[in-house]
Amino acid sequence: MIGIIDYGMGNLGSVSNACRFLGLDAKIITRKQEMADCRAVVLPGVGAFGDCMKHLVEHDFVSPIEDWIQAGKPLMGICLGLQTLFESSEESPGVAGLGIFPGTVKRFDRSQELKVPQIGWNRMKEVQSDCPMFNGIEDDSFFYLVHSYYVCPENDALVAGKTEYGIDYCSCVWRNNVFATQFHPEKSQAVGLRMLKNFWAWADVN
Catalytic residue set: 79, 184, 186
Handedness of CA 14, 199, 75, 185 (dihedral sign): negative
Q: d(Cα 22, Cα 57) in Å, to the nearest integer?
A: 31
Question: Which residues make beta-bridge pairs with 161?
Answer: 126, 172
Q: d(Cα 7, Cα 32) in Å, to the nearest integer?
A: 10
**How does DSSP assign 88-144, residue by residue?**
EETTSTT-----SSSEEEEE--GGG---SSEEEEEEEEESSTT-GGGTT--TTEEEE
Q: d(Cα 52, Cα 183) in Å, to the nearest integer?
A: 17
Helix axes 189-204, 12-22, angle to 10 degrees: 80
3-class DSSP state of 83: helix
Least Cα distance to 36 among 72, 10, 69, 64 occurs for 64
Task: Count other Cβ atoms within 10 Å, centred on residue 200.
Answer: 20
